Chain A
Amino acid sequence: MEGIAVVLPGFFCAGIFRVMARFIAWRLLRAVLTVLCVALFVAIALRISGDPAVIALGPDAPAAALQAFRAQNGLNLPIPMQIARQFLAMLHGNFGVSMMDGTQALPLVLRHVIPTLEIAVPALLLKLALGIPAGLLAAVRQNSWIDRLVMAGAALGLAVPNFVIGVLLVIVFAVKLGWLPSSGQPSFAGLLLPVISLGLAGAGVLARFTRSAIVGVLTQPHVRAASAKGLSRSAVLLRHVLPNAVATLLPVIGLAIGGLLAGTVVVETLFSWPGLGNLLVVAVANRDVPVVECILILSAATMALSNLVMDVAHAWRDPRIVRGRG
């Protein structure tokens, strides 16, 4: 990216759009590279762990069957060729066959995405709705009891694992009070406990980040200038503090969105929710590598895409970073 910084003055005559397009293209390339690296990483780890033929057919398989399996799956080729073949197959949507029930891994995984999104998206919204206002309030009323309460809540939120929150919610609302079902019905009542456990777990971290982002902006001279020229407190917050704090918060929110598919593993298992996380845990317990690999690549792609979108949003909010760092 040094190049862009040097070439930039020339580009400025051509317009910021060309610079922006370059920035986006560069970020897109990085996102694709990340996903490729994940696939490569899995392929290498698999080769280190042992002979794929023995893993697929079991240690007692006859030598003839192993030979046939190797020939059929191209395992006699040199390793770079094998990996290239595998990448090509993945590009065609062929991630291999699940060892559990012999179906194609990709459709099996995609079937589980919707139930995961059903709890992950409301949980993300809950997280944002709780975390950002709480952090804002704490920052504005620094060192008051509200601030202490929010920060104590955030510290607790960091220390309590989400399965503990989930288990406590089950004990109170499902076992003692009997108001809500404790496991996996695809209904509104069944959604509540998993969504609340997920949302509460993330809200604390977000509140902490929001508070420090806003405190950082509050101390800057332009905020003091805005107050000095007689703007009301709420106008200063809305027009001068929040837009600047958002720039710092975007990467954190991006991480939360990118982690949507990956973040539900524990909670889904706890509530027997039929989503991606549940599938992943079953697949890992059975060492069903094609399914695990497919989920890993899918969540890496989600993460890369979310980072890409957030980078572009960040650059759009604050064009300095296009010039500053690549």
Chain B
Amino acid sequence: MAAMNGKARPMLISLALGWLVLMLLLALFGGWFTAAATHLDLPHRLQPPVFFGGDGSYPLGTDELGRGMIARLIASIRISLLIGFAATCLGAAIGTSLGFLAAERRGWIEQAILALVDFQASLPFLIVALALLAIFGNSLGLFIVLMSLHGWERHARVARATALEANAQGYASAIRHLGAGRWRVYGLHILPNIAGPLIVSASLAFPEIVLLESGLSFLGLGVQPPLTSLGAMVGFGRDYLDIAPWILVQPSLVIVLTTLSVNLIGDWLRDRLDHRL
């Protein structure tokens, strides 16, 4: 949070970036492990990892069905990050479009969108998500859409405010007078100019969505077996809390390190890109 000047990147930010790159690589290229993630090795169930006194045949241990923890973790990271990214992008797209619409049309459309923003902001989102899950049931696609509803109101607010500012500046009206249509003005000119605040807003939404997903999956109401996610691993690991704590400690650690990294990088970006938030 300290004022950052010059180009020097603090050590902590480099570490956080490194962790995120590792997670991203695991998510992108971890596909080979998906078979291993469901491979049962029952004689070797509940093997402790090396640092819990294991023998090293499974470096991070095995779970209650003898599945290797490394493969399980990678499969979980893939799903958790997929949901996090997809929902953040979808939420940003929805929120930004509505924000632009409000800035362009003004009048009652703007008032309706602002009322919707207030409405969303005044509700505990976890309860809304649970209610929608009860009503619509659950599938991966539906779950991603549901998660994208979290945080769209912040994107909408930021997009509207910054687009109004941009509209008041010379370049937007110059392009309009040159005859550009609305799509061109917003997509090609205003959007790139206000990308900073939008990225910051997305960097706030992403860790919140990861935490929300892991919470719901922990409750058994999010990602459903045979798919797995970090929160679901913690939830299933609860039953083996006393005899095999590594089942639940390792995914917890991955969740914490990932959200912490994104938060740190987000704070750092905010200092550089935007002082409004």
Residues of chain A having any CB pair with chain B under 8 Å: 34, 37-38, 42, 45-46, 49, 143, 151, 155-156, 158-164, 167-168, 170-171, 175, 258-259, 262-263, 265-266, 269-270, 280-281, 283-285, 287-289, 292-293, 295-296, 299-300, 303-304, 307
**B214 touching A161, Cβ below 8 Å:** yes
Report the minimal beta-carbon distance from B246 to chain A, rounded to whole angstroms. 11
Q: Can you give 11 contacting A-B residue pairs, CB < 8 Å?
A: A37-B119, A155-B260, A161-B211, A161-B252, A171-B241, A175-B245, A263-B124, A284-B133, A292-B131, A300-B122, A303-B124
- B residues 108-138 near A (Cβ < 8 Å) are 119, 122-124, 126-128, 130-137
Inside 8 A of B218's CB, which chain A residues have their CB?
A: 161, 163, 266
How far, in whole Å, are A155 and B241 apart by their CA atoms in the complex?
Answer: 26
When A266-B218, A285-B220 are in contact, do A46 and B135 touch as well, CB less than 8 Å? yes
User: In the complex, which of the residues A34, A163, A265 contacts B234, with contact meaning CB atoms closer than 8 Å?
Assistant: A163
Q: In the bound complex, do residue A159 and residue B122 qualify as a contact, i.e. CB atoms below 8 Å apart?
A: no
In the bound assembly, the distance between CA atoms of A266 and B244 in angstroms comes to 22
Cβ of B13 within 8 Å of any chain A Cβ, yes or no, is no
A158 near B124 with CB under 8 A, answer no
B interface residues, how many (CB within 8 angstroms): 41
- Asked if residues B207 and A159 are in contact (CB atoms below 8 Å), the reply is yes
Known: A155-B260, A167-B248. A161 touches B215 (CB 8 A): yes
User: Which of B126, B137, B242 is the one whose CB lies under 8 Å from A265?
Assistant: B126
Tell me whether A164 and B134 are in contact (CB under 8 A). no
Residue pair A262, B252 in contact (C-beta under 8 Å): no
Partner of A303 from the list B122, B220, B238, B245 (CB cut-off 8 Å) is B122
**Cβ–Cβ < 8 Å partners of A269 in chain B:** 219
Q: Which of B1, B135, B256 contacts A45 (CB 8 A)?
A: B135
Q: When the two chains form their complex, are residues B135 and A289 in contact, meaning their CB atoms are under 8 A apart?
A: yes
For B230, give the chain A residue with the smallest CB separation.
A161
State which of A37, A45, A258, A265 has its C-beta within 8 Å of the C-beta of B219. A265
Q: Known: A45-B135, A262-B124. Contact between A163 and B221, CB under 8 A? A: no
Quick check: B263 and A155 within 8 Å, CB to CB? Answer: yes
The binding surface of chain A is classed by DSSP as helix
A30 CB, nearest partner CB in chain B, Å: 8
Q: Are B127 and A296 in contact (CB under 8 A)?
A: yes
A259 and B124 form a contact (CB under 8 A): yes
Is B86 part of the contact surface with A, judged by Cβ < 8 Å?
Answer: no
Residues B215 and A266 in contact, CB atoms below 8 Å apart: yes
> Is B88 close to A, CB under 8 A?
no
- Of the residues B136, B211, B221, B260, contact of A285 by C-beta under 8 Å: B221
The 10 closest A-B pairs by CB, nearest first: A262-B124, A159-B260, A159-B259, A292-B134, A164-B252, A284-B134, A296-B131, A262-B127, A175-B242, A284-B130
Contacts of B256 in A (CB 8 A): 156, 159-161, 164
List of B residues within 8 angstroms of A288 by Cβ:
134
Chain B residues with Cβ below 8 Å from A265 are 126-127, 130, 215, 219
Within the complex, what minimum Cβ distance (angstroms) separates A310 from chain B?
11
Are B263's CB and A283's CB within 8 A?
no
B2 within 8 A of A: yes
Which B residues touch A270, using CB under 8 A? Answer: 238
A175-B237 Cα distance, complex, nearest whole Å:
14
Complex formed: what's the CA distance from A276 to B234 in Å?
Answer: 22
Looking at the assembled complex, report how far the CB atom of B231 sits from the nearest CB atom of chain A, in whole angstroms. Answer: 8
Binary interface profile of B, 213-249, with partner A (CB < 8 Å = 1, else 0)? 0110011110000000001001000100110010011
> Which of B2, B126, B134, B238 has a CB less than 8 Å from the CB of A289?
B134
A170→B237 CA distance, assembly (Å): 13
CB distance from B143 to the nearest CB of A (A): 13
Give, as a whole number of angstroms, the nearest-CB distance from A217 to chain B. Answer: 18
B264: interface (CB < 8 Å): yes
B255 at the interface (CB under 8 A from A): yes
For B130, list chain A residues within 8 Å (CB): 265, 280-281, 284, 292
Min Cβ gap B166→A in Å is 23
Flag if A163 contacts B215 (CB, 8 Å): yes
Which chain A residue shows the least CB distance to B211?
A161
> Which of B123, B134, B136, B267 is A300 in contact with, Cβ under 8 Å?
B123
Q: How far is the CA of A97 from the CA of B110 in the complex (A)?
A: 39
Among residues of B, the one whose C-beta sits closest to the C-beta of A212 is B1
Could you say which residues of chain B place their CB within 8 Å of the CB of A295?
127
In the bound complex, CA of A288 to CA of B134 (Å): 7
Residues in chain B near residue A280, CB distance under 8 A:
127, 130
- Inter-chain contact B260/A303, CB cutoff 8 Å: no
Q: A155-B260, A281-B221, A285-B221 are in contact. Are A303 and B123 (CB under 8 A)?
A: yes
Q: How far is the CA of A304 from the CA of B126 in the complex (A)?
A: 16
What A residues does B133 contact at CB under 8 A? 284
Interface centre among A155, A263, A289, A307 (most CB of B within 10 A): A155
Q: Is the CB of B124 within 8 A of A293?
A: no
Contacts of A281 in B (CB 8 A): 130, 219-221
Q: State the CA gap A158–B264 with chains docked (Å).
A: 11
A156 to B242, CA, bound (A): 25
- The reply to whether B215 and A49 contact each other, CB–CB distance below 8 Å, is no
| Interchain CB contact under 8 A, B234 and A167 | yes
Quick one: which of B193-211 are within 8 Å of A by CB?
207, 211
